Amino acid sequence: MRGKAEARGKSFPGTAEQPQRRKQVFASALKRVNREIDRLQKLEVRSAHIEAAHKALAMHRAGKFADRPAPGETAGEGMRAKVSPRRRYVVPGAKIGSIVRATAVAQAKRDARP
């Protein structure tokens, strides 16, 4: 009879829990790598936001100081009209005409009474 060897490549060397342990090690390593990548991305975003905030603050502070002061009130211009805070109400001419006509018609009716 010919001797036959055991089939190769059936399982990983070691006991049945060895492949499970290897899988756990790789999974935990992958989690660590993903966490580190996420941390680095958040750090980049945070630093970009901080830079933008510093730039905005510098622009805000620079805008507060004008090179020259405004001239303000000067002599020789005379009196100026005070601007009214109320909204100006403009009545169209057609509406004015219709109201005048309605008043005239009403007066004519009163005059025609006995």
At residue 71, the pLDDT reads 72
**Contact, 19 vs 12, CB < 8 A?**
yes
R_g over Cα of the chain = 45
CB 12 within 8 A of CB 22: yes
| Domain range annotation of the chain | 16-64
pLDDT, tens digit, for every residue of 61-90? 888 876 776 777 676 667 777 888 887 788
